[in-house]
Amino acid sequence: MSPQTGAVRPSPAAESLTDEELARGLVAGDEDCLAAAYHRWSPLVHSLARRSLGDAKEAEDVTQEVFLGVWRGRRGFRPERGTIGGWIVGITRRGIADALSARTRRLRLVAAAGSSLVLAEPAARKPETTLDRVLVLHELARLPAPQQRVLRLTYYEDLTQTQIARRTGWPLGTVKSHARRGLHQLRSRLQEDEQADHYT
């Protein structure tokens, strides 16, 4: 069973448990202890994720994934190896690393697509490939200037987000936010265009 931890309020009894007692209940499958663990540690998990990812929505997603991981992996907790809080922080760090890896994969995928469209030899281009390239460049040009700049530096100059932050003078969190929002808008607009083509 996977309870919706964000919507569950722990009982006063569970809230008053020590970390050790809470850990024992959690390992035994007590959902009230999971709710108490979420109530106790989710602010820390969210704070760590927000600081690393620079995005509140991604931090919320990571927080939910962490506590789903806590529930699913509860039998793997070993008190002799450390505290329940330390175990949850370890799961959080892995969740953040996974989120960053997923983001990097998305950026590389879009960058590879953009680069192949831009760098392809004209003679080798099929008509639909040329159309795709024009469409991507058109939608990219419609983005707000900061998002456009971050995506162009990512795709066409192959800069990391840290390098972009140095180049622009913007905080790393701002760069990450612009990249995420820009990709989201670009993807949404391209999907809208694709759906429109489908119905014409």
Res. 130: pLDDT tops 80:
no
- pLDDT tens, position by position, 136-194: 676 777 888 888 888 878 777 777 888 888 888 999 889 888 888 888 887 776 666 55
Query: Is residue 158 a contact partner of residue 110, using CB atoms and an 8 Å limit?
Result: no
Tell me, what DSSP letter sits at residue 157? Answer: S
Q: Per-residue pLDDT averaged across 13-35, rounded?
A: 89
Q: Which residues contact 87 (CB under 8 A, 6 or more apart)?
A: 77, 81
CB-based burial of residue 53 (10 Å sphere; 0-12 exposed, 13-18 middle, 19+ buried)?
buried
Per the model's pLDDT, the better-predicted residue between 53 and 200 turns out to be 53
pTM score of the predicted model: 0.53
User: What is the distance between the alpha carbons of residues 36 and 8, in angstroms, rounded to a whole number?
Assistant: 9
Give the pLDDT band of residue 197 (cuts 50, 70, 90): very low
**Whole-number pLDDT of residue 193:** 53
- pLDDT tens, position by position, 27-85: 999 999 999 999 999 999 999 999 998 888 889 989 999 999 999 999 999 989 999 99
User: What is the distance between the alpha carbons of residues 15 and 141, in angstroms, rounded to a whole number?
Assistant: 52
Res. 114: pLDDT tops 60:
no
Q: Per-residue pLDDT averaged across 110-119, rounded?
A: 54
**Whole-number pLDDT of residue 133:** 59
